Amino acid sequence: MSDKSPYQEKANESKAHVVWHESNISKADRAKVKDQKPKCIWLTGLSGSGKSTLANALEVALTEQGKHTYLLDGDNVRPRLNRDLGFSDEARVENIRRIREVSKLFTDSGVIVLSAFISPFTSDRRLVRNLFPAGEFIEVFMDTPLQTCEERDPKGLYEKARAGKIKHFTGIDSPYEAPERPEVRLDTSQMSVDDCVNRLISYLLDRQLIFTSPQATGA
């Protein structure tokens, strides 16, 4: 635990008289109590690509292994935290800016946060990545073809966008900039949800980003 002063004036914030309040409990302390490595698993892809479905299934799998998690999903964040934002390019940038800060707070608490957002712009995702230490940010690209996403259209949004009833819809009249080097690439038109979960769990285990807990193995 840290014994330094809890107050730290940051150079770029001093003019606004903002002083960061440092906790005497560090990020490492919180992670140690939870017996895990905090991280942000960022799922990006088109609407209907399987982000929310996979994030929910992955959270269940991690929780069953005794991990402390929290799921942030676009549809759950916009009605409250980001209810003032629309869907213009500028609003999407601000949406992701806020979410990256919330995601960082969760990892600072020692939690594994799963963030499922379309996050269509490369520059925004790069800013998210740069906020985290090396190895703590895992970009999962839901590389499901647009045709499959449109065929699923669980909310009827593609149909409305094609009819001109929704403007600035990603994949139709607003661009999606696909990640070039994501940590994990998944296509739910070719893989089941269970297959995707197993792939992600294997990725985390192979790189020692998570460890199998005794309660999960029955030891």
Distance CA 83, CA 69 (A): 24
- The DSSP secondary-structure symbol of 167 reads S
For residue 17, the 8-state DSSP code is T
Name the strand (E) or helix (H) holding 116. strand 112-116
Active-site pick, 119, 123, 189, 213: 119
DSSP string, 48-115: TSSHHHHHHHHHHHHHHTT--EEEEEHHHHTTTTTTT--SSHHHHHHHHHHHHHHHHHHHHTT-EEEE
Q: Does 119 participate in catalysis according to the annotation? A: yes
Residues that are catalytic = 119
